[in-house]
Chain A
Amino acid sequence: MSTILEMRGIRKLFPGTIALDGANLEVRAGEVHCVLGENGAGKSTLMKILSGSYQPDGGEILIGGSPVHIGSPVQGLAAGISVIYQELDLFPDLTVAQNLFLGHAPSRLGIVNGRARREAARGYLDRVGATFSPDAVVGSLPIADQQLTAIARALTTDARIIVMDEPTATLGEADVEAVCRVIRSLAAEGRAVIYISHRLAEIAAVGDRITVLRDGATVAHHEVATSNADDWIADMIGDKRKELTGIHAGAAPTGEPYLNIERVHIPGLIDVESIPVRRGEIVGIAGLGGAGRTTLLSAVFGARSSQHSITINGAPYVARSTRAAVRAGFGLVPESRKTEGLMLGLSVWRNAGIASIHRAPWIMPHTVGRRLSAPVIDGLGVKFARGSQAVGELSGGNQQKIVLAKWLTRGSTILLLDEPTRGLDIGAKADLYKQVRNLAETGAAVLVASSELGELVANTHRIVVLHEGRNIGSFDPRLHSEETITHAIISGKMP
């Protein structure tokens, strides 16, 4: 088998972080090559560079032995690279045949030859083993069939290199098998398949070779046939001991739980049981992407509906709506501060005060919001020019503090933080966690979901591990190493 793709020494910088530095990938024609790595190891960034969505800051890409420049996704397609994303980028209102040939439909003088298109589409659908009609509207198909449609579309451009980013994340077991069969047959045709998945069992079943990324660099290669999942996990985790900072949140507070999540259930997504949080306690929620961290927090906050049984201070709480949640003392720092956390066009004071102007007589909101939030903003050490400045003009760390200030101003007693440090630099991260610890010391119950385990280890009293929607157990970060916890996060098995 000959090498079809080589990525050498790929480097990619984002403001404040190094996403990739020294990432190598060598893929042969006719193999299924799996890329493994923890959250944030750089898998997606590497694939986006390959597809042409991102431009690398260093390194080179060779296809068939000759260097190529992939300046855009269109050039990527032309170079024979097709990416099937996890969130399928299909057009749900168009038919399968239309989706397959969008942009390159068989036509004459600008008039599409519908019959030729349908027949060609049927040919590609047969090759992926699909049994549905090319005239079916994509949005009406089950997810597994949509996945097959996306794969068939990759074939229509005659891609030699097909990248699949977690194609099975939303599929049931039977469907996973079908997709795996198709992947094998693509490789048998001599194409190269680059396969990204968190499900190690699948990789053992479908993969030929493995490249492991850690902290933006390639750290290991494995032959699937001669290695096992424990080897892979060891390389993904690396030697974390030297990274341990030794800063811990201190002894966990004792006493009755203040917030007690007895059960939260959304069929097909999450089924979480028994997460008690005491006053003054910071509980971390760890898990892979798609394990249900965000879903759990938004369900508890009433932002999405679920079957649940939750008590606050012993009294039952119903997450009927976000308003009910806020009234019950919850505050959510959502995953995306720009689209969910802040009103970017409005001022610092107005953003910080928006949750605290609900009291009668409902007048002078600016004065009230400013009076209540000013000391909070001051205490958090937010840097800004004027309180009337639009919050969108602040740096990421200061923006995140304003989201936090919104709830401190309100006097929320239960804080839910979802990836609170995303996009922040190291100083801002440390600062934010310091504020969260201060907050817990004043008696708040805090839940922090994060994909950065190191942060949780350093800043929480207890870490609950979610795996495929279930909480499989919890760890005391003072007693367990980061390696042990990571192993549980990836494998879904408690030690």
Chain B
Amino acid sequence: MTNTQLTEPTSRSALAWRTRGTSWLVKGNLLIVFAVVVIAASLLSPDFLTVRNIANLLQQSSLTGIIAIGMTLVILTSGIDLSVGSTAALSGMVVAIALNGMVPIPLAILLALVVGAVIGLVLGTVSASLRLPAFIVTLAGLTSIRGIAYITTDGRPVGQNLPEAFTVIGGGYLGIIPITGIIFIAVTVATFAILKYTTFGEYIYAVGSNEEAARLSGVPVRLVQIAVFGFSGLTAAIAGVLLTSRLTIAQPTAFQGAELDAIAAVVLGGASLFGGRGGVGGTFIAVLLLSVLKNLFNLMGIGSFFQMVATGVILVLALVLNKFIDSRAARHA
């Protein structure tokens, strides 16, 4: 209180301007990097900015992207979900097995989504109610759910004769836009709306920002924690169904390591692993950025081994940049 009185009005507004400028930079920094990479890519290769290439890009990034959107909610509550890759694989198996068993398409998809959501809810309940670290609970989920995915068909791929009406979802286009891309965007927009325009979304930020304060404010902390894991399981299942649809076959080995790609995208998107800060917009851009980078490397003819190294380095650099801008903003605030 004394501080505000002591500060000159003029310098205060100057400070406000500077803070606002920096916060814009914080929010816009990923977009700037994204724009730079896109421009670099289009200069380096005339093939980059072709409709085909961009459609391809969207197609490739959608599945990881959908998983990353669900992961964003978990990370916003300061949790982590390592089980998503396995859950996606199992859901992909479930939908194929159901379709092979002549279950109608909508019902088969619904079944797979329910399986994913239930897995998430169970892991979330175990973690939140018994106060076990989500890292360990979902790590256990990662191995055991992968095991279940193998058990369903004894390790064999399934679904050679999937109906075309089903396979068009993952492989089809609406005009020039891949349907999976549309679904990715739809999931992002829906999740954005949940976070921004529902009480549930506000509770997610509250829990991630200060769990104890949220609890002492009457926020149903455990329910929120369980729900985000359910949501994460659901988005993983969506990705699983889409992959089965696109490949017209389901493999229990699908989505190995997808959880790490998703976490990388969420963190690159500006979310804090300690919770309470971030959003799906950042994740969406980060998913595209990682995908464009990969695309750029391919166009430049860089081998995939080098790509892995470069992606890691870029990830760290982006985080360092974020942290740098953040601490500058904090100093000015």
Q: Is B199 an interface residue (CB 8 A)?
A: yes
**Is the beta-carbon distance between A425 and B2 smaller than 8 angstroms?**
yes
Q: Is B103 an interface residue (CB 8 A)?
A: no
Q: Hey, which chain A residues are within 8 Å of B301, CB to CB?
A: none
**Is the beta-carbon distance between A350 and B2 smaller than 8 angstroms?**
no
Q: Hey, which chain A residues are within 8 Å of B210, CB to CB?
A: 339-340, 342-344
Q: Hey, which chain A residues are within 8 Å of B209, CB to CB?
A: 343-346
**Inter-chain contact count A-B, CB under 8 Å?**
90
Q: Hey, which chain B residues are within 8 Å of A334, CB to CB?
A: 216
Q: How far is the CA of A265 from the CA of B202 in the complex (A)?
A: 36
Q: Is B220 an interface residue (CB 8 A)?
A: yes
Q: Is A354 an interface residue (CB 8 A)?
A: yes
Query: Which single residue of chain B is at the shortest CB-CB distance from A385?
Result: B16
How far, in Å, is B18 (CB) from chain A's closest CB? 13
Q: How far is the CA of A123 from the CA of B3 in the complex (A)?
A: 56
How far, in Å, is B129 (CB) from chain A's closest CB? 13
**Is the beta-carbon distance between B202 and A354 smaller than 8 angstroms?**
yes
Q: How far is the CA of A340 from the CA of B212 in the complex (A)?
A: 5
Query: Which single residue of chain B is at the shortest CB-CB distance from A407?
Result: B217
**Is the beta-carbon distance between A343 and B214 smaller than 8 angstroms?**
yes
Q: Hey, which chain B residues are within 8 Å of A345, CB to CB?
A: 209, 276-277
**Is the beta-carbon distance between A362 and B200 smaller than 8 angstroms?**
yes
**Is the beta-carbon distance between A350 and B276 smaller than 8 angstroms?**
no
**Is the beta-carbon distance between A339 and B16 smaller than 8 angstroms?**
no
Q: Is B213 an interface residue (CB 8 A)?
A: yes
Q: Hey, which chain B residues are within 8 Å of A393, CB to CB?
A: 333
Q: B258-306: which have CB < 8 Å to A?
A: 276-277
Q: Say yes or no: A354-B1 contact (C-beta < 8 A), given A334-B216, A343-B214.
A: no
Q: Say yes or no: A362-B277 contact (C-beta < 8 A), given A303-B215, A322-B216, A339-B213.
A: no
Q: Is B184 an interface residue (CB 8 A)?
A: no
**Is the beta-carbon distance between A355 and B197 smaller than 8 angstroms?**
no
**Is the beta-carbon distance between B199 and A327 smaller than 8 angstroms?**
no
Q: Is A301 an interface residue (CB 8 A)?
A: yes
Q: Is A357 an interface residue (CB 8 A)?
A: yes
Q: How far is the CA of A19 from the CA of B2 in the complex (A)?
A: 20
Query: Which single residue of chain B is at the shortest CB-CB distance from A392?
Result: B333
Q: A100-121: which have CB < 8 Å to B?
A: none
- The residue that B276 contacts in the complex, of A339, A346, A428, with Cβ under 8 A, is A346
Q: Say yes or no: A350-B215 contact (C-beta < 8 A), given A345-B276, A395-B3.
A: no
Taken residue by residue from 1 to 24, chain B's Cβ proximity to chain A (1 for < 8 Å, 0 otherwise) reads as: 111100000001000100000000
**Is the beta-carbon distance between B200 and A354 smaller than 8 angstroms?**
no
**Is the beta-carbon distance between B2 and A363 smaller than 8 angstroms?**
no
Q: A378-425: which have CB < 8 Å to B?
A: 383, 385, 390, 393, 395, 397-398, 406, 425
**Is the beta-carbon distance between B276 and A395 smaller than 8 angstroms?**
no
**Is the beta-carbon distance between B213 and A363 smaller than 8 angstroms?**
no
Q: Hey, which chain B residues are within 8 Å of A406, CB to CB?
A: 217
Q: How far is the CA of A385 from the CA of B206 in the complex (A)?
A: 22
**Is the beta-carbon distance between A341 and B218 smaller than 8 angstroms?**
no
Q: Say yes or no: A363-B197 contact (C-beta < 8 A), given A340-B212, A344-B210.
A: yes
Q: B65-88: which have CB < 8 Å to A?
A: none
Taken residue by residue from 435 to 475, chain A's Cβ proximity to chain B (1 for < 8 Å, 0 otherwise) reads as: 00000000000000000000000000000000000000000
**Is the beta-carbon distance between B202 and A366 smaller than 8 angstroms?**
yes
How far, in Å, is B63 (CB) from chain A's closest CB? 30
Q: Is A326 an interface residue (CB 8 A)?
A: yes
**Is the beta-carbon distance between A395 and B2 smaller than 8 angstroms?**
yes
Q: Hey, which chain B residues are within 8 Å of A398, CB to CB?
A: 1
Q: Is A323 an interface residue (CB 8 A)?
A: yes
Query: Which single residue of chain B is at the shortest CB-CB distance from A382?
Result: B1
Q: Is A290 an interface residue (CB 8 A)?
A: no
Q: Say yes or no: A397-B1 contact (C-beta < 8 A), given A340-B212, A363-B197, A363-B199.
A: yes
Query: Which single residue of chain A is at the shortest CB-CB distance from B275?
Result: A345
Q: Hey, which chain A residues are within 8 Å of B215, CB to CB?
A: 303, 322
How far, in Å, is A301 (CB) from chain B's closest CB? 7
Q: Is A310 an interface residue (CB 8 A)?
A: no
Query: Which single residue of chain B is at the shortest CB-CB distance from A424?
Result: B1
Q: How far is the CA of A354 from the CA of B217 in the complex (A)?
A: 7
How far, in Å, is B191 (CB) from chain A's closest CB? 15
Q: Is A127 an interface residue (CB 8 A)?
A: no
Query: Which single residue of chain A is at the shortest CB-CB distance from B199?
Result: A362
Q: Say yes or no: A383-B213 contact (C-beta < 8 A), given A323-B218, A365-B202.
A: no
Q: Say yes or no: A327-B2 contact (C-beta < 8 A), given A340-B212, A343-B206, A366-B202.
A: no
Q: B204-246: which have CB < 8 Å to A?
A: 205-206, 209-210, 212-220
Q: Hey, which chain B residues are within 8 Å of A301, CB to CB?
A: 216
Q: A334-376: which have CB < 8 Å to B?
A: 334, 339-346, 350, 354-355, 357-358, 362-366, 369
Q: How far is the CA of A383 from the CA of B201 in the complex (A)?
A: 28
Q: Is B198 an interface residue (CB 8 A)?
A: yes
Q: Hey, which chain A residues are within 8 Å of B199, CB to CB?
A: 357-358, 362-363, 365
How far, in Å, is B196 (CB) from chain A's closest CB? 8
How far, in Å, is A34 (CB) from chain B's closest CB? 36
Q: Is A259 an interface residue (CB 8 A)?
A: no
Query: Which single residue of chain B is at the shortest CB-CB distance from A354?
Result: B217
Query: Which single residue of chain B is at the shortest CB-CB distance from A355?
Result: B217
How far, in Å, is B9 (CB) from chain A's closest CB? 11
**Is the beta-carbon distance between A362 and B4 smaller than 8 angstroms?**
no
Query: Which single residue of chain B is at the shortest CB-CB distance from A341?
Result: B213
How far, in Å, is B304 (CB) from chain A's closest CB? 39
Q: Is A325 an interface residue (CB 8 A)?
A: yes
**Is the beta-carbon distance between A326 and B217 smaller than 8 angstroms?**
yes
Query: Which single residue of chain A is at the shortest CB-CB distance from B219?
Result: A354
Taken residue by residue from 119 to 146, chain B's Cβ proximity to chain A (1 for < 8 Å, 0 otherwise) reads as: 0000000000000000000000000000
**Is the beta-carbon distance between B198 and A365 smaller than 8 angstroms?**
yes
- The residue that B206 contacts in the complex, of A322, A332, A354, with Cβ under 8 A, is A354
11 contacts between A and B (CB under 8 A): A303-B216, A340-B212, A342-B210, A350-B202, A354-B219, A355-B219, A362-B200, A363-B198, A365-B198, A365-B201, A385-B16
Residues of B within 8 A of A (CB): 1-4, 12, 16, 196-202, 205-206, 209-210, 212-220, 276-277, 333
In addition to A322-B218, A355-B217, 20 A-B residue pairs with Cβ atoms within 8 Å of each other are A323-B218, A332-B216, A334-B216, A339-B212, A340-B210, A340-B216, A341-B213, A343-B276, A345-B277, A350-B202, A358-B199, A362-B198, A362-B199, A362-B200, A363-B198, A365-B197, A365-B202, A366-B202, A395-B2, A397-B1
Which 4 interchain pairs have the tightest Cβ spacing?
A: A326-B218, A343-B209, A365-B202, A362-B199
